[in-house]
Amino acid sequence: MFKIIRNATVYNPDKLGKKDVLIVNDKIIAIDDKIEISSNGIFDVEEINCKGKILVPGFIDGHVHILGGGGEGGFSNRTPEATLSILTKAGVTTVVGVLGTDGVGRDMNALLSKARALEEEGITTFVFDGNYRLPIKTLTENLINDIMAIDKIIGIGEIALSDHRSSQPSFDEFVKTVADTRVGGILSGKAGIINVHLGDGKRCLDLINEVVEKTEIPISQFWPTHINRNAYLFEEGIKFAKKGGIIDFTGNSDPDLWEKLYGEVKVSKAIKRVLEEGISEDNFTLTSDGQGSFPMFDDKGNYKGIGIGTSSCLLESIKACVFEENIPLEKAIRAITVNPANILKLKNKGKIEKNYDADLCLLDEKTLDIDMVIAKGKIMVKNGNPTVFGVFEKASKN
C-alpha cells in the first residue's frame, strides 16, 4: 500500500519545513518538497492532505506497565493491562514493557506474552528483564542468555534503588548484574540498558555513581528514571547528566497539583533547566510510567482515590514545554522520539527519514493535539479517535 502525506510541516525531529512523505507498506521511502507518483491503476495510492498539520515521529514510551502495575495497597489495587488504543491514541507507536514491585503475581513470561500480543495488534514492543528486585529471575539459564536469545529483551529494569520497596542490593550484587547486562547487550547488538527506578531515599544515584567511579562500565549504560520525583533527586540528576549520564523524567496527568503537593519537578520545567545547564540535547528522555497506580486528589489536596497513569501525559508534557516554557518543539519532542530510540538502540525508530519505519504522529499546528497516528504504515488513529482496536477491545464494543 502506498501513502503520500502532503503539505505537512515535518519535524525530523529537526524542523524540515513543508514536505511530502511517501510511505510504502511499513517504511518511509521518500521525503521531498513535492512527490509525484503514478500507479497506472496497478496499485492504490492513498493521499493524505495535511495542511495546517505538523508531522513528527511516532512516540516511544520506554517505561510502561503493559501488564498492569500497582498492587502495593493489596490485591484490589492491581491496575489493569494496557490496551492497544490506550497507547495509540496517546501517539505511542513503540512501547517498552516493565514489571514493577510485583514480580510474583506478574512475571516475565506474562510480560513477554503481553508484548507479543500488542505487537500482533499493530505496534512495536520490547521489554526489560526483571523487576524491582535483585537477583533477577531469568527466563533461561542466565541474564546474558536472556538478552541474547530473546528478541524483545533489550536490557533490565526497572531495578529499584533508594526505595524502601527495593531488595537493597549490595554494590557487588548490583555491579555483577550490570556487567552481565552490558555483556549481553554487546554480544547481541542490543542496548543492554539498566533501567533504574529511583525512589524518595536520600541515597539517590549513589550506587550508580559508585559503579561508574570504581569500574570500567560507562555511565551511558544506565537509564535512571523518575528523576523529577522531587527537588533533591532532580538536582542529583542534573549533576549526573553533566557527567554524561542519561536522565529520564516521568510524566504526570496533573503536574501542577503534584508539584504543589509533593514537590515534584514539572517535566516542562525540568527540560528547560536541562537545556539552560548546557546538558546535551541527546541525554534526556520522557516516559509515562503508564498503567502504574497513583493517588488522586482534588484541587484542595483532598484524597479522592486511586488512579492509573497513561501515556497521554507524554504529549501533554511536550505541550507545556512549548506553550508554557517557550521551548522549541524540535528540542522538546526529542525526549519521546530520537533520544529514546538512540539510547535503546531501536533501529529505524525515532526519526522521519528514508528507510525508517513509518511510525508517525500528525499534530494540529496550533494546539499540538493528535489528529492521526500511523504505526508500521497503518493508520491507527484518525481525527483524534482510534480506528484500530485490540482483539478484546473489539469484543467489548460488540
Q: How far apart are the C-alpha atoms of 55 and 242, rounded to whole Å?
A: 31
Tell me what percent of the residues of the chain surpass a pLDDT of 90: 84
Q: State the chain's mean pLDDT as an integer.
A: 94
- Model confidence at 302: pLDDT above 80: no
- Angle at CA of residue 101, ends 335 and 82, nearest 5°: 55
289 as an active site residue: the answer is yes
* Cell numbers that stand for 197 in this block: 527506578
Give the confidence band of 40 by pLDDT, cuts at 50, 70, 90. low
The tens digit of pLDDT for each residue in 64-82 reads 999 998 887 788 888 999 9
pLDDT tens digits along 356-383: 999 999 999 999 999 999 999 999 999 9
Output the DSSP codes for 233-247: HHHHHHHHHHTT--E
Distance of alpha carbon 31 from alpha carbon 337, whole angstroms: 18
The span from the CA of 242 to the CA of 15, in Å, is 26
pTM of the model: 0.95
Q: Which of 129, 289, 357, 359 is catalytic?
A: 289
Give SS3 for 160: strand
If one counts every other C-beta atom within 10 angstroms of the C-beta of residue 214, the result is 10
